[in-house]
Amino acid sequence: MSKSKINVGNFFEDFKIGQIIRHAAPRTVTVGEVALYTALYLPRFAVQSSTAFAQAIGYERAPIDDLLVFHLVLGKTVPDVSLNAIANLGYADFKFLIPVYPGDTLSATSEVIGLKENSNKETGVVYVRTTGANQRGETVLSYARWVMVKKRDRDAAVGPEVVPDLPKSVAPSELGKAAPAINVGAYDKALAGSRYFWGDYEEGEKIDHIDGMTVEEAEHQLATRLYQNNSKVHFNQYYEAQGRFGKRIIYGGHVISLARALSFNGLENVFHISAVNGGRHVNPLFAGGTVFAWSEVLEKAEIPGRQDIGALRLRLVATKDKPCAYFPLHGADGKPDPAVLLDLDYWGVLPR
Amino acid sequence: MSKSKINVGNFFEDFKIGQIIRHAAPRTVTVGEVALYTALYLPRFAVQSSTAFAQAIGYERAPIDDLLVFHLVLGKTVPDVSLNAIANLGYADFKFLIPVYPGDTLSATSEVIGLKENSNKETGVVYVRTTGANQRGETVLSYARWVMVKKRDRDAAVGPEVVPDLPKSVAPSELGKAAPAINVGAYDKALAGSRYFWGDYEEGEKIDHIDGMTVEEAEHQLATRLYQNNSKVHFNQYYEAQGRFGKRIIYGGHVISLARALSFNGLENVFHISAVNGGRHVNPLFAGGTVFAWSEVLEKAEIPGRQDIGALRLRLVATKDKPCAYFPLHGADGKPDPAVLLDLDYWGVLPR
Amino acid sequence: MSKSKINVGNFFEDFKIGQIIRHAAPRTVTVGEVALYTALYLPRFAVQSSTAFAQAIGYERAPIDDLLVFHLVLGKTVPDVSLNAIANLGYADFKFLIPVYPGDTLSATSEVIGLKENSNKETGVVYVRTTGANQRGETVLSYARWVMVKKRDRDAAVGPEVVPDLPKSVAPSELGKAAPAINVGAYDKALAGSRYFWGDYEEGEKIDHIDGMTVEEAEHQLATRLYQNNSKVHFNQYYEAQGRFGKRIIYGGHVISLARALSFNGLENVFHISAVNGGRHVNPLFAGGTVFAWSEVLEKAEIPGRQDIGALRLRLVATKDKPCAYFPLHGADGKPDPAVLLDLDYWGVLPR
């Protein structure tokens, strides 16, 4: 009786290939979320910061920050997909498709597209394709994600292994869908904070974003609750004190947002994340850590049919308690530098 | 000169039976407050989370969370009623009467309905009937509350004892007034997060809400300031270091909101608190504590004239640093379990 | 390559007299910012708190708190003016000129109006005149500010010394421009929280605001990010651990807002800061400190042409961990009391 109505989350053997999960808690995003997002990360990209700026270049209004949309969509999937996850393994084919504005209501649906039991039979990898939709049913965001999920019962039988074929990167022809036609003549570089447009960046260029941001417990808890992400490890010190690390683990998405906001210094005109090719949370972050970040231009691409904007494929690396003047990534032994928190590969767009 | 214009709060002997106090600081509630409330507690009830969901079932828009309305109204009363209180003793006959929407302006008025000096002559119990009204003068919330207030002067003469006759519970016929007619056919159980409606709960059923939430100083301070509740014990470590506990005491309402948000897991469709029959803050909470919660269905009631919704009388118990699998309430000695923070008795409504 | 696109801020020798700097990151201010501001400081002035109250007395809607406007404008100037500042020396001729409402977009421009190298040749004082404008290009705020900025190169040649002639105070004839004509008959003193109007205050009157507010790291970081103020010393514990104080320094404006909110108790009807004559951050504040405040009425002035409102010139003093019953300001030796954080001289307006 006591737990019959309780959601304890799905275990590996509960997932079936082709299963469609409509996630709970649709959410109307408002200027309230926007203000909190600013207070949590210090983003300064002019398009999201100013309605006047956004409208001048072609947006209906100031759009919701791409990562805020992502966090809200991902948050909805947690109770069904990753409540019993022990690792967040990766993202692929991750595309923003339509701008989201204050007042829009977001909901999320996931389809199980892959299942692979681990050889220890105690866990397995679950692959889902998640889509976030607005109140008109339009898909605003679509991504594949895979997580390692515990089995409830080691001996439970599972179906045959299915590993989806996911692209290594999103093709340039698929970029820019969530960016309206930009009136580049009306794009005020002084207000945006930089004179560097797409043509000014070079493949191989590395940028140390120089600033650092120390994270407090209250901050990441506020952020993660704002996203209605109820993953237990972020909030419950009573249990975490007895856990792997002895302390609450900060939501990996918090690090992505911090790194993106830090990247403003050097990438001021990269006003929109159009797609994510892949990403790894290399190490966990805990309260008290200071996050630094650096970027590398992996590739420059024209977007077919778009003369207004171009795309930069960027590696965004975040570190903990380690300034990035020397672009830390791997140690001398070729293994990841233990200070690295995040290694993200995304397509940003900016005016040409 | 120095303090003549300062509000030092009323003492027991300052209150008179029948006295009406119009409280200061009317407040326009906006989506800004809603976003912060989400970030502070992680509520996921679909009606309050989504304008689209709320409108589909019959609300004008997504209503303001009932407890946010309560905290804002109570906050206004603090400077006049409880600035010199040493204990918050109870609530009764507490009813939500009209939905509150973003953009509404709340103000509060209290009438002194009872006064009872304690035998030590140093304190007395003040009973007030507080009403919260919107900008049209409609009462949105009404409750009786009693607090123990210090006397300024032990020897001050006081009037005869008056103890109001307050109902032990709110009658089912008085419930549901702040819930519009619900279109149950349009109520999407998947989006709401549960398939259990009124008919699925049984009297005596107990639910362990399983999750826990650790509270930081910054969080409860932000919350209590959001409510413009200026009770000193929540904010001033300089004084509290010298006080009873050596630390700031968390506003009791913060615990109510945490417990209510935790109760989503198991009570997903109880979308509205219609009335509070009574409640006790059994023990104080301090920063660093982790709050858990469990519920018991005390009673099931039909609401006269309503086929759309039914009422559950629920006991909501919150604990500190104690999971609730065994439903902690009393110790073997019959005394309250020292881990119990809150024992609340309310009427929740949900679709039938 | 690594830092070519990075903003490392201007150094003393980078500034030229007459130089105009258009600052980045225009910002649309919304009810989201308003709610966060309330949660950060606990302001209770009825005009800013209630649309209904504001409209009744003559405002279009509830205006944005004056200090929130100031923080947002100042925040924009930081990357260009004070990223390499080592001291915030003063303000003068600081005037609010037009009310700001939710939905307005603020941008900022500064003109360099003074430059004075210090004799050590390692730093110099930069004087700017900063104006904040709304989306219609109307100036909402104008102030002179001077900061001590590092030189990049001790040997860099600098121009002749220019020290601007700034007024010691703003004349009463310049006050009240951002306050519409107030319908004093509709000003509800009970809702505002005090019966004291302009005529009830006396020159020389001192008011101990009695309450105190303890500041947490998460709180000042949220505030300063909300203002998009990226001054490094507030956020980066990794660097500050090696710095002058070993810890993050709280943004001085945070103290101003705390002191202003505390001053509600005794100055409830001083609904608007019209001008700032001068101000000094006497000592830095760190997390864990408890802020107290007191005020002195330095001067009473009629505002030419205004029968609705009058002006009080107020000294607002904030202290750290020191209650203000004895109005701490100077020690017996005539030096500033070490507990004093802020000594602000402003013109507040209230109904007559």
C140-176 pLDDT, tens digit per residue, is 999 999 999 999 999 999 999 999 999 999 999 999 9
* Strand-pair partners of B148: B87, B125
A334 phi and psi, to 5 degrees? 85, -10
Taking the C-alpha atoms of residue C273 and residue A51, their distance in angstroms, rounded to an integer, is: 27
Label residue B332 by pLDDT band (50, 70, 90): confident
Q: Is C349's pLDDT higher than 80? A: yes
* Inter-chain residue contact A226 with B41, CB threshold 8 Å: no
Q: Say if CB B131 and CB B141 are below 8 A apart.
A: yes
Distance of CA A13 to CAs A84, A115, A155, A157, A159, Å? Answer: 12, 9, 10, 7, 9
Residue A163 lies inside a defined structural domain of this protein:
no
Label residue C2 by pLDDT band (50, 70, 90): very low
- Residue B286 Cα, gap to closest chain C Cα (Å): 15
Q: Is B8's pLDDT higher than 90? A: yes
Contacts of A240 (CB under 8 A, 6+ apart): A233, A246, A247, A248, A249
Residue-wise burial string across B124-136, b where 16 or more C-beta atoms lie within 10 A, e elsewhere? bbbbbbbbbbbbe
* Inter-chain residue contact B24 with C191, CB threshold 8 Å: yes
As for how many domains chain C has, the answer is: 1
Q: Residue A338 belongs to a domain with what CATH number?
A: 3.10.129.10
Give the model's pLDDT for residue C105. 98
Residues written for chain B: 352
Token representation of residue A323: 């300034």
Residue the block writes with tokens 């002749």: C160
Q: What is chain B's alpha carbon radius of gyration, rounded to the nearest angstrom?
A: 20
Token representation of residue B139: 């009462």
For residue range B73-130, what is the model confidence (pLDDT) as tens digits?
A: 999 999 999 999 998 899 999 999 999 999 999 999 999 999 999 999 999 999 999 9
Tell me the residues of B at the C interface, defined by beta carbons under 8 Å apart. 1-3, 5-8, 22, 24-28, 30-33, 35-36, 79, 103, 105, 107, 135, 216-219, 221-223, 225-226, 228, 230, 232, 235-239, 248
* Inter-chain residue contact A207 with C6, CB threshold 8 Å: yes
Q: Is A158 exposed, middle or buried (CB count within 10 Å of its CB: 0-12, 13-18, 19+)?
A: middle
The distance from CA C184 to its chain's CA centroid, rounded to whole angstroms, is: 27
Give the model's pLDDT for residue C334. 86
**Residue C129 domain boundaries:** 12-179+192-351
Taking the C-alpha atoms of residue C285 and residue C247, their distance in angstroms, rounded to an integer, is: 10
Q: Is C229's pLDDT higher than 70? A: yes
Q: Which residues of B touch A228 (CB under 8 A)?
A: 38, 42, 44, 49
Taking the C-alpha atoms of residue C136 and residue C105, their distance in angstroms, rounded to an integer, is: 9
Query: In chain B, how many H helices and how many E strands?
Result: 8, 12
Q: Which residues of C touch B248 (CB under 8 A)?
A: 214
Taking the C-alpha atoms of residue A259 and residue C68, their distance in angstroms, rounded to an integer, is: 26
Residue A187 lies inside a defined structural domain of this protein:
no
Q: Is C245's pLDDT higher than 90? A: yes
The distance from CA B155 to its chain's CA centroid, rounded to whole angstroms, is: 34
Residue C185 lies inside a defined structural domain of this protein:
no
Taking the C-alpha atoms of residue A261 and residue A267, their distance in angstroms, rounded to an integer, is: 10
Token representation of residue A110: 């996931």
Contacts of C68 (CB under 8 A, 6+ apart): C29, C33, C34, C37, C257
Residue the block writes with tokens 């506990």: B245
Residue the block writes with tokens 């002997």: B13
Taking the C-alpha atoms of residue B73 and residue B79, their distance in angstroms, rounded to an integer, is: 12
Do B145 and B115 share a structural domain?
Answer: yes
Neighbours of C103 (CB within 10 A): 15
Do B221 and B121 share a structural domain?
Answer: no
Tell me the residues of A at the B interface, defined by beta carbons under 8 Å apart. 1-3, 5-8, 22, 24-28, 30-33, 35-36, 79, 103, 105, 107, 135, 216-219, 221-223, 225-226, 228, 230, 232, 235-239, 248
Axis-axis angle for helices A252-262, A217-226 (nearest 10): 100
Chain B residue with the nearest C-alpha to that of C31: B32
Residue-wise burial string across B44-66, b where 16 or more C-beta atoms lie within 10 A, e elsewhere? bbbbbbbbbbbbbbbbeebbbbb
* Inter-chain residue contact C226 with A52, CB threshold 8 Å: no
* Inter-chain residue contact C30 with B28, CB threshold 8 Å: no
Contacts of A165 (CB under 8 A, 6+ apart): none
Give the model's pLDDT for residue A331. 82
Do B295 and B272 share a structural domain?
Answer: yes
Q: Is C9's pLDDT higher than 90? A: yes
Contacts of C146 (CB under 8 A, 6+ apart): C89, C90, C114, C125, C126, C127, C128
SS3 B178: coil
Do B199 and B159 share a structural domain?
Answer: no
Do B171 and B146 share a structural domain?
Answer: no
Closest CB to C24: pick one of A39, A52, A191: A191
CA torsion, ordered B34, B35, B40, B46, to nearest 10 deg: 70
- Residue C339 Cα, gap to closest chain A Cα (Å): 27
Looking at residue C339, what DSSP letter applies? T
**Helix, strand, coil shares, percent, chain A, to 5:** 25, 30, 45
The distance from CA A273 to its chain's CA centroid, rounded to whole angstroms, is: 10
Closest CB to B31: pick one of A8, A32, A222: A32
- Residue B139 Cα, gap to closest chain A Cα (Å): 26
Handedness of CA C1, C4, C7, C11 (dihedral sign): positive
Give me the percent of chain B exceeding a pLDDT of 70: 99
* Strand-pair partners of B110: B21, B130
Nearest to C104 by CA among C126, C130, C137: C137
Q: Is C287's pLDDT higher than 60? A: yes
Q: Say if CB C109 and CB C141 are below 8 A apart.
A: no
Token representation of residue B286: 């301090």
Do B172 and B132 share a structural domain?
Answer: no
Axis-axis angle for helices C31-41, B31-41 (nearest 10): 50
- Residue C348 Cα, gap to closest chain B Cα (Å): 17
Taking the C-alpha atoms of residue B128 and residue C326, their distance in angstroms, rounded to an integer, is: 36
Do B160 and B35 share a structural domain?
Answer: yes
Strand spans (E) along chain A: 20-22, 27-28, 85-96, 105-117, 123-133, 139-150, 206-208, 213-214, 272-281, 290-302, 309-320, 340-351
Give the model's pLDDT for residue C4. 82
Q: Say if CB A225 and CB A299 are below 8 A apart.
A: no
Q: How many CB pairs under 8 A join B and C?
A: 141
- Residue C234 Cα, gap to closest chain A Cα (Å): 9
Nearest to B312 by CA among B206, B153, B190: B206
- Residue C352 Cα, gap to closest chain B Cα (Å): 17
SS3 A93: strand
Token representation of residue C201: 């205050």
Give the model's pLDDT for residue A2. 40
For residue range C298-315, what is the model confidence (pLDDT) as tens digits?
A: 999 999 999 999 999 999
Q: What is the pLDDT along chain A (352 residues), one digit of tens a residue?
A: 345 899 999 999 999 999 999 999 999 999 999 999 999 999 999 999 999 999 999 999 999 999 999 999 999 999 999 999 998 899 999 999 999 999 999 999 999 999 999 999 999 999 999 999 999 999 999 999 999 999 999 999 999 999 999 999 999 999 999 999 999 999 999 999 999 999 999 999 999 999 999 999 999 999 999 999 999 999 999 999 999 999 999 999 999 999 999 999 999 999 999 999 999 999 999 999 999 999 999 999 999 999 999 999 999 999 999 999 999 999 888 888 999 999 999 999 999 9
Residue the block writes with tokens 């002191």: C259
Give the model's pLDDT for residue A297. 98
The distance from CA B256 to its chain's CA centroid, rounded to whole angstroms, is: 6
Residue A2 lies inside a defined structural domain of this protein:
no
* Inter-chain residue contact C228 with A327, CB threshold 8 Å: no
* Inter-chain residue contact B31 with A30, CB threshold 8 Å: yes
SS3 A54: helix
Give me the percent of chain C exceeding a pLDDT of 70: 99
Residue B186 lies inside a defined structural domain of this protein:
no
Label residue C332 by pLDDT band (50, 70, 90): confident
Nearest to A313 by CA among A274, A258, A280: A274
Q: Say if CB C175 and CB C311 are below 8 A apart.
A: yes
- Residue C143 Cα, gap to closest chain A Cα (Å): 20
Residue B188 lies inside a defined structural domain of this protein:
no
* Inter-chain residue contact B213 with A226, CB threshold 8 Å: no
Residue C284 lies inside a defined structural domain of this protein:
yes
Nearest to C41 by CA among C71, C62, C21: C71
Do B152 and B221 share a structural domain?
Answer: no
Residue A183 lies inside a defined structural domain of this protein:
no
Q: What one-character-per-residue DSSP string does A210-277 give?
A: ---EE--HHHHHHHHHHTT---GGGT-HHHHTTSSSSSPPPPHHHHHHHHHHHTTTT-TT--EEEEEE
Of the candidates B110, B145, B165, which is a domain's last residue?
A: B165
Closest CB to C105: pick one of A33, A52, A196: A52
Q: Is B2's pLDDT higher than 70? A: no
Taking the C-alpha atoms of residue B162 and residue B160, their distance in angstroms, rounded to an integer, is: 6
